[in-house]
Structure 1
Amino acid sequence: MKLNLGILAAAAATLLTYATHLNSLNLTAMPFMLDTYEQGWEFYDHSEWLQGEFAKLPDVGFRVLATWEAGFRSFTTNEPLSSPADAATMKMRVYPNDMIRWSMEAIGFQTVVMPITDVYLAIQQGTVNGQENPVDTIKSLRFNEVAPYLTLTRHVYSPLPLTISEKSWQSFSDEDKAAVLKAGEEAATFSRELVKSSVDAQLEEMVTAGAKVSTPDITPFREAVTSVYDKAREVYGDEVVDSVLADTARIREMKPAQ
């Protein structure tokens, strides 16, 4: 990664990008752990486990300054997707990450790993039937044009941590570090509110352009991916997986702030 080598000073990318350096971060992509943006913010800002993982990142060359928003991952396909039964005949492009791939295969898809830059043409040519990403990404990359069925499963909360290379960070004065942290946090607040408030309008624009948006019964999808937690336990250990799941379960039960 160019960031940890000091070639890039800062970046905002999905946390799974950094899992190649700290593989426990893959656990943030376990399916259906969080239901709302506010729950995601609580997890990324205050989870004792996740803050502990973030604290390990400077040792591999970068650190998290704040968490910008991207939203929840959902499907866009060229055929209707109302339940896991529909997935059995579909090929799904997946992000190159085991946790995401396990979830897609548990739902029933055949999975195809490919760069996101190849996905539009791959759907258009019939190589795959669809892909999964946050609504903002679906719209900005125009996936709805070739895969007009948007199925809002919201199966993984997928924000964008703002990170800085440790080399750059250590070159700053204490005053500069405080200013950078403040700017990152202010930008995170703006990003979170912007993305959360934009989703409905983005969906409406895509519907106007011909997309068909649906919110399926999530229960069959949740039931289909229970094996993913077992696979995670095999790879990462019972203790840490159960700790993360307990943490997110606690957050889901919290009452929203008034």
Structure 2
Amino acid sequence: MTNRRDLLKGTAAAGLTITGFPTILRAQSAKVLRFSHTDTSVGARQQAAEMFAAAVEKNTQGRYKVQVYHSGQLANDAKSLDQLQIGGLDFAVTGVVTFTPHVKDLSLIALPYLAENYEQGWKLYDTSPFIAKQAAALPAKGMRLIGNWEAGFRCFTTNFPLGSPADAKGKKLRIAPVEMIRWIMESIGFSPVVMPVTEVYLGIQQNTVSGQENPIDTIFSQRFYEVAKYITLSNHVYSPLWLAMAERSFKGMSAADQEGVMKAAKESGDWNRREVRANDDKLLTEMTAKGAIITKPDLAIWSKAAEGANERARKEFGAAAVDQMIGEAADIRKSMG
């Protein structure tokens, strides 16, 4: 049997230093963690995921490596959270609205027009007692929130001109499987159709749906403007991302490694927020050059059209919860001008 001394001799004979021996062992014993998202390889989400992976490896001194899978290679958004629960994945980053089947009251974060700009949205997600309460319920569901990332404000991409809510009447529009989003779309006049984001491009191309709604970064990275060139900047829902970790994976780490992962999530999330905000105008310009037609509508008209969703939410979730969420957002808007 080869002992440590013999192995060290072999290492020296191969031209390697003895001081490198522990590094080799760490590399061989590193635990690989799987990270899934549905953005493409060119989106800001992928860049942030790669940054996160590098930071985790560094912060844990190589004890953990993160393998990133983009474009829904392992799972669509909804299924990625299911995989966190059963141990099929270790990390998933997806829209906060995707978590609503697991924590029902999270639907209220998709109430229309809670935030007017990124800074207001960031403060809402960083300080809201209502949102913190919903996040605290996730570990019992097998997953843990470890970072606030960014997608942006949801807008429409359609294959027909969308000049006003009247143009939406009866049109089939793809939505995520979120009740609040459905209510907003129905209030505006659309006929919503639930469909995984990875199937939307083909769905529009085949006219199964006439468009979809998502933030600018997603519209660009998924190239929805190629099949639905009319982009309406309705900003109807502030829709950031949550980076979640499988609870069993988190609990299996030492306290120091847990801290390293949380630090990596914060750093990559802060970068992701800044990047998405800075990129909006650039991406719109690029999409325009490729044939997209951008419309900046009067948001007051769209806000009024979406009000029916608030009333349906009060009936479903209770007036107290809805008014708390709306009130917290209103206080932030007022304090930030």
Q: What is the TM-score of this pair, normalised by structure 1?
A: 0.96
Q: Does 1:166 align with 2:230?
A: no
Displacement of 1:6: 2.2
Amino acid at match of 2:304: E
Alignment: residue pair count: 256
1:136 paired residue number: 217
Task: Report SS of the residue matched to 1:210.
Answer: coil
The 5 Å alignment of 1:172-251 reads 172-251=253-332
Amino acid of the residue matched to residue 234 of structure 2? T
- Map Cα deviations across residues 10-64 of structure 1 (whole Å, 9 max, x no partner): 1111112221111111111111111111111111111111111111111111111
Q: Which has the larger radius of gyration?
A: 2
- Residue correspondence of structure 1 range 55-74 to structure 2 within 5 A: 55-74=136-155
- How far is 1:89 from its partner? 4.7
Q: How far apart, CA to CA, are the structure 2 residues paired with 1:184 and 1:57? A: 17
The share of aligned pairs that are identical, in percent, is 45
Match of 1:252 in 2: 333
Q: Distance between the aligned counterparts of 1:199 and 1:179, measured in 2?
A: 31
C-alpha separation between the residues in 2 aligned to 1:22 and 1:103?
A: 19
CA contact (8 A) 2:143 2:247 kept: yes
| 2:98/2:177 contact within 8 Å kept | no
Q: Quick check: 1:116 aligned with 2:193?
A: no
Alpha-carbon distance between aligned partners in 1 of 2:192 and 2:223, rounded to the nearest angstrom: 21
Picking from 51, 56, 76, the partner of 2:157 is 76
> Does residue 104 of structure 1 match 2:104?
no
Whether 2:122 is the aligned partner of 1:29: answer no
What per-residue deviation string (whole Å, max 9, x for no partner) do you get for residues 176-230 of structure 1?
Answer: 1111111111111100011111111111010000111011011121111111111
- SS of residue paired to 1:8: coil
- Given residue 149 of structure 2, which amino acid in structure 1 is its aligned partner? W
Unpaired runs of at least 5, structure 1: none
Amino acid at match of 1:127: T
How big is the shift at 1:118? 2.4
Gaps of 5+ in 2: 1-81
Provide the rounded CA distance (Å) in 1 between the counterparts of 2:141 and 2:280: 35
Secondary structure of 2:163 counterpart: coil
After superposition, the C-alpha distances for 1:136-178 in whole angstroms (9 at most, x for unaligned) are: 1111111101111100011111111111111111111111111
TM-score by length of structure 2 reads 0.74
**Structure with the greater relative contact order (CA < 8 A, sep ≥ 6): 1 or 2?**
1
